Amino acid sequence: AGRGFAVVADEVRGLAQRTQQSTEEIEGLVSALQNGTRQVSGIMLGSRTLTDSSVELTRRAGTSLESITRTVSSIQAMNQQIAAAAEQQSSVAD
């Protein structure tokens, strides 16, 4: 009976060691997963900041393009007036 107990005790010790090793491996995996999650969270925050900045810059570019379009239209109107005035001067000079 004593020998049987020793065999069982050895098995229990072996199982305890494997359980300890498995627990340590799981702790390592959980720690790595937490670190990865923190990194992803930081990257996502940075991405959101860049996206917000891009949206603002796009809005500003749109506003600038609208202003440029208005200015070009105004210049075209002035060019037409200048051309008409030059034509009138030319016809008066003749």
pLDDT digits (tens, 9 = 90+) for 56-94: 999 999 999 999 999 999 999 999 999 999 999 988 877
Question: Is 78 domain-assigned?
Answer: no
pTM, full prediction = 0.58
Question: Is 81 domain-assigned?
Answer: no
First to last CA, the chain: 135
Question: Is 54 domain-assigned?
Answer: yes
Question: Is 37 domain-assigned?
Answer: yes
Tokens 């239209």 -> residue: 73
DSSP state, 74?
Answer: H
Predicted confidence (pLDDT) per residue in 41-60, tens digit: 999 999 999 999 999 999 99
Looking at the structure of the chain, the number of domains it has is 1
pLDDT at position 12 is 96
Is the confidence at residue 1, as pLDDT, over 70? no
In angstroms, the CA 60 to CA 66 distance is 10
pLDDT at position 84 is 95
Question: Is 36 domain-assigned?
Answer: yes
The domain in which residue 24 lies consists of 1-66
Question: Is 1 domain-assigned?
Answer: yes
pLDDT at position 76 is 98
Question: Is 59 domain-assigned?
Answer: yes
pLDDT at position 79 is 97
The percent of residues above 70 in pLDDT, for the chain, comes to: 98
Predicted confidence (pLDDT) per residue in 64-74, tens digit: 999 999 999 99
In angstroms, the CA 20 to CA 15 distance is 8
